[in-house]
Chain A
Amino acid sequence: MTTIDPARTELQPSEPPPQRRSTGTRATRLVGIGCITAMGWLVAFGLGFSPADRDQKESVRILYVHVPTIWLAYLAFVVTAVSSGLYLLTKKQSLGWDRVAGASAEIGVAFVAVTLAVGSLWGRLTWGVFWQWDARLTTTALLFVTYIGYLAVRRLGGSHQQRAKRSAVLGMIAVIEIPLVHFSVKMWRSLHQEATVANLDGDTKMDGIMLFSLFVGVIAFTFLYVWLMLHRTRAMAMEDMLEDRGLDDALIARRAEAANQQNGAH
């Protein structure tokens, strides 16, 4: 199947349009199969093999989705920040970096939405309420809104380079903003349970099969992130090419119209 080159941004009017039928390649299909397999494992371990927790009972199963999605969301936002920096700091200012930043932010926002949704269900079962004004929850909610703002800025319009520069600057500003928000909210209050797995003392306080189920969840959502990234960056490249093509076609049509009018006048 023919695919597109994400690095390309403009088409020559005389050039025949390339065959573009899908954003899929052999690699994306392999990643997709890996994702489906890992998700199957996650369902088997999360809902079947893994036991209920002594304190949290069956609600512990929610954590096999809640924890991997927020880890992947953090990774997605780091990728956005790094790609934004690479776009701004490299001489070429490649739109490829801009698309990676945008796609990663979109996926990060989706993952944070999943984290907040399943987290509030877990909170209802464990704490008795859907929401608490705890440091980590509040920071996550603000992170979610911040990146919704970032995505809104990406849709402000203008040329591809204008969009890329504007959103790259915003992606870099988020690097200043998020630690400050996190620190202030942490000073404000903290109720969320301490990290059970990713804690600094290296002491993992979790049953073996539960930890393995969580690990399967991380693998499954990592596959999903990579699969979505590949498709979304290619879809973005296609959207950009389509816009360029539309502009080129409009220019050609306008020139042809003007030439016909001139010929008619003569």
Chain B
Amino acid sequence: MSTWKVACLIAVKDLRVERRSKIVTNQVLPFAGITMVSFAFALDKQNVLDTVAPGLIWLATTFSLLILVQRSFSIETDDGALDAMRVAGIDARAIFLGKAMALAVQLLVLEILLLFAAVVFYGESIQSSGAQGPVLAVVLLVTTLVSATCGLAAVGTLYGGLAAGFKGSETLLPLLTLPAVAPVLIGATKAVESAVGTAGAVVSEGWQWVGLLAVFAVAFGIGGALAFGPLIDE
């Protein structure tokens, strides 16, 4: 069976486990929602919220990523399933890709809901100025979501696999992940600012950040696939 096929099977398995356990819908999504509401309490003023909303979306996504990664690997390590998959001869790259794909799907759903939350709570809207109206802004937003999600999923899976099963992994994971995802936090925030027109930003300014996000996703996708095997083979 090819690596991609095995990866897809693992991704489907992870998503099925999540659908049945409902941890994501019952705990992670409400956590992300309450984070957005808490930001509004802390920042208070509407004009401040308008300015910082794109950053808050990605901050809430990053915090939720940590919970999702912990969850993704706790289901594997509790019953030694990760070791069992390796003993069964499954390629480590397939495990990495499968888990990253499942994580990416969950993150994408979360980000779309957070965008809606930003529209409702912070009054954000898509930029409609320019020759082609909101079309380019929507394309920029979708491309940003996809590329940032791929990068976050790759980093999360890589460090989740490293920390899995160790005492103190709950605190180690943020320590490793947060500095690594700083480029995504910066790039995705700037690109969304361009898409929604924060502080006069124009759509064309956002594409350079999408380029950075794409490079990040590719680098950590390849690096993660190569490094994941040595990290979990212990």
Contacts and interface: CB of A to CB of B under 8 A. Distances in A.
A162 B167 CA distance: 15
A180 B151 CA distance: 12
B208 interface: yes
Interface string A152-177: 11001110001001100110110011
B182 A142 contact: yes
A155 to B, nearest CB: 9
Contact of B183 (A146, A165, A173, A180): A180
Given A145-B175, A180-B215, A187-B212, A157 B166 contact: yes
Contacts of B44: none
Question: Which label, helix, strand, loop or mixed, suits the secondary structure of the A interface?
Answer: helix
Given A145-B179, A162-B234, A181-B179, A153 B172 contact: yes
A173 B234 contact: no
A88 interface: yes
A180 B22 CA distance: 35
Interface stretch (B112-120, B139-147, B216-224): B216-224
A158 B178 CA distance: 25
A188 B186 contact: yes
Interface residues of A, number: 27
Contact of A158 (B168, B187, B234): B234
A169 B234 contact: no
A152 B175 CA distance: 9
A144 to B, nearest CB: 9
Interface in B196-220: 208-209, 212, 215-216, 219-220
Contacts of A173: 158, 223, 227
B234 A165 contact: yes
Among B176, B179, B234, the most chain A Cβ lie within 10 Å of the Cβ of B179
Contact of A170 (B162, B187, B209, B216): B162
B8 interface: no
A100 B167 CA distance: 26
A183 interface: yes
A56 to B, nearest CB: 30
Contacts of B167: 157
Interface in A31-59: none
A149 interface: yes
A184 interface: yes
Nearest to A159: B234
Given A166-B230, A173-B227, A184-B212, 18 more contacts: A88-B230, A145-B175, A145-B179, A148-B175, A149-B172, A152-B176, A156-B172, A165-B234, A169-B231, A176-B223, A180-B216, A180-B219, A181-B183, A183-B212, A184-B186, A184-B216, A187-B208, A188-B186
Interface of B: 158, 162, 166-168, 172, 175-176, 178-180, 182-183, 186-187, 190, 208-209, 212, 215-216, 219-220, 223, 227, 230-231, 234
Interface of A: 88, 142, 145-146, 148-149, 152-153, 156-158, 162, 165-166, 169-170, 172-173, 176-177, 180-181, 183-185, 187-188
